[in-house]
Structure 1
Amino acid sequence: MARVTGNSLLRGLSGTLGNITVRQVGDQTIVSVAEGPKKAPRSPKQQEHLDRFAAAKRWATAQVLDPAGYALYATGVDDRHGAPYHVAVADYMHAPTITATDLSAYHGQPGQLIRVRATDNFAVAAVVIRILGPDQQLLETGPAQPQPDGLHWLYPAQTLIPTLPGTTVEVRATDRPGNAALARYPL
C-alpha cells in the first residue's frame, strides 16, 4: 500500500486498473495491489471477525445518525480516525481493559474504597463492582463512580462483610457499545 501525493493523474481516481487498486480515503490517494480471487474458504475465525466487523459498521451507522451519538464520537476524531463513524467502529471493535484494581483499603467495612483503573480506546461507560461470598452468593453490588482524571473509578463498600477469606471481588468495565472486561480478585 502506498500513499500518493502530488500526482494529478491519480487525484480523484478510484477503482482497479490491471493489478493495481486506487482508492480515495479522505484527502489521500491510496494505491495497492489488487485483491486476487480467493483460493480457500474463510476459516471460522475469519468469518467470526467479518461478522463482528459488519456488526461494528451497523453500530457506527446508527450512532452517527443519532445527533447525540454523532456529537459524542466527533470528540474522538483525530489523524487516525478521520470521522465520527470511524471512531464508533473502533470503539465497537475494542473492549475496555481493567489495568489495575486497588483493594488495599478494603477490609470488609462499609465506606472503605475499592479503586479501579479502567481504560478504553474511546471511553469506559461504566464500572460495576460485585462482592461474592465463598460459595459465590452475591453479598454486594453497585456502580463505581468515575473520577475527574477519566481513568479511575471509586466504589465505596456498602455492606459489612465480617469474614473476607474466600470472598471474591469482581470488577466489570463496559464501554458504550456494550463490550466488557471482567476481572476477579480473591481475598
Structure 2
Amino acid sequence: MEKIPLKTPSCALLKGFHPLTGLLRKLYTLIQNWIATQPKPALTATIIPSRIRFKDAVDYAKKVYHDEALLSAYQKLAAPGVHLFRLAISDALCGPHISDLFHLVRKGEDSLTIRIKATDNVAVAKVLFRFVGADGHLLEEGMGHGFGDRGWWIYTTRHSIDDLPDSLVTITAFDISGNKAIICKYF
C-alpha cells in the first residue's frame, strides 16, 4: 500500500479559497457581533474609587521618571529584574504599616524612648512623633531614627516624663510616595 503525502493548501488558505477559511471568518464575525450586543458591566461604587486610585498611582509612576531624586531613590531600592515603573505603582498603591509600639523609661534618665516597627512594601521614608498635651497644645515634635534592617524606628523625647503627663502621642509613618499610616496612644 502506497502512502499518499498530505498536501496543505497553504496558497489556497492564504488567498481565502479553502472552505475552512470562509467558515472561520464567518465564525469570527458571529462572535464579534455577539460581543458587541452584550451589555457592558456597570460601574459599581467599589470599582470607581479603585480605578481612580490606580490612575493616580500610574500618574505618580510617570512623575517618578521626571524627578531625579525620586528616580534615584527607587533605583537604590529596586531588586534586580524589578521594573521601576511597577515598583512606583506598587508603592503608591500600598501604604506603610505601624506595629509593635514600645515605650521605654531608662533608670536614671528622665526622657522617654519610644520604639516602633514601621514597614512598607518598598521602604518607609520617615517617621514623625508628635506629643500633644491634654489642653491641645503641641508639647514636642520630632523625627524618628531608623535602626536595624527590620523596620525599627526609635525616638527619644527632649522633655522629661513629668512634662508629658496625659499627653497624646501621634506617630505617623510616611513612605516615598507620600502614603502615611497613623497611630495614636495616650501616655
Q: 1:72 Cα shift? A: 2.7
User: Does 1:60 find its partner at 2:64?
Assistant: no
2:181 maps to 181
How far off its partner does 1:185 sit? Answer: 1.0
> Which whole-Å CA distance do the structure 1 matches of 2:90 and 2:67 have between them?
17
Higher normalized helix content (fraction of residues) = 2
Contact 2:112–2:161 (CA<8 Å) still a contact in 1? Answer: no
Which residue of structure 1 aligns with residue 169 of structure 2? 169
Q: Distance in 1 between matches of 2:39 and 2:51?
A: 17
SS at match of 2:104: coil
Partner residue in 2 for 1:101:
101
1:11-70 deviation line (CA, Å, top 9, x unaligned): xxxxxx898xxxxxxxxxxxxxxxx75232x22332111111111101111112334433
Partner of 1:13: none
Cα RMSD (Å): 2.6
1:146 partnered with 2:146:
yes
Offset at residue 106 of structure 1 (A): 7.3
**TM-score normalised to the size of structure 2?**
0.70
Query: Which residue of the partner structure matches residue 130 of structure 1?
Result: 130
The C-alpha deviation readout for 1:68-99, integer Å capped at 9, x for no partner, is 433332332466xx310000000001110001
Report if aligned partners of 1:110, 1:156 keep a CA contact under 8 Å in 2. no
With structure 1 as the length reference, what TM-score do the two structures score?
0.70
Select the structure that is richer in strand. Answer: 1
What code does the residue aligned with 1:76 have? Answer: A
Give the whole-Å Cα distance in 2 for the aligned partners of 1:127 and 1:106.
22
Sort the Cα spacing of 1:165 and 1:67 in 2 relative to 1 into closer, same or farther, 3 A: closer
The structure that has the greater radius of gyration is 2
Alpha-carbon separation, structure 2, partners of 1:112 and 1:39: 56
Distance in 1 (alpha carbons) for counterparts of 2:164 and 2:184: 14
Matched residues in 2 for 1:128 and 1:68: separation? 21
Rounded to whole Å, the distance in 2 between the matches of 1:110 and 1:101 is 19
In structure 1, list runs of 5 or more residues that go unmatched: 1-16, 20-35
Give the aligned residue type for 2:122: F
Aligned length: 151
Unaligned segments of structure 2, at least 5 residues: 1-27, 32-37
